[in-house]
Amino acid sequence: MTTNDALPQSAPTARTTQDRIRRANIAEAAGGFDGFISLDWIRDSGASVTQTLAAWDQGQLAELPVGRGWDVVRMDRPRGWRTVQALRTAGAEIGPVLHSEAHVEVLVPLGSVAEWDQDDTTVVAEGELLRVPPPAVVVPHTLNARSWIVPPGTSLTDGMALYEAFASAGASMAMDGGAR
């Protein structure tokens, strides 16, 4: 008997097409991380990595608490997109950025936006739950009307760089006559 013969064998399970797609999307997200999805941002939030991955595997959004491992700045969608563009133009390192029907939400280092004073934005309160799709759900794809503009990786957006980009986006929109 070989060693493999002694290993327990699991019964094959029938997978639906939707199951295969969800699993492929999660696996695809691993491509940018040397074969592994970066889980530090989930661990840092205090959420269960197992529960997060299970929610994603079931095609659901995961809920991660804000204010333990990182903070979140929420802005209206048009200015949020302009802010991301301003960050890119400035060559700033951009961490995870979420997109919803009404908002853009940027994950920043804990405490880096404590003095945030920009109008038309919110620093999400500590303990509030952030609903996140798997890292592979990137614009234009969505899961329950949420997707990543920039998927999670190994860094967060610097709070000062975000502040400057948000101000720049506002100035740009004012020069465009408030075009959104």
Per DSSP, the three-state class of 24 is helix
Tens digits of residue pLDDT in 101-122: 999 999 999 999 988 888 889 9
Which of the pair, 115 or 26, is modelled with greater confidence?
A: 115
159 phi-psi bin (left φ>0, alpha ψ -120 to 50, beta other):
alpha
Check the CA dihedral 133-134-138-140 and report its sign: negative
My answer on whether omega of the bond before 140 falls inside 30° of 0, hence cis, is yes
DSSP result, 147-161: EEEE---S----HHH
For residue 32, how many other CB atoms are within 10 A of its CB?
A: 16
Task: State residue 135's pLDDT score.
Answer: 93
93 CB-near residues (< 8 Å, 6+ apart): 155, 157, 158, 161
Per-domain boundaries in the chain: 15-175
Q: What is the mean pLDDT of residues 140-167?
A: 95
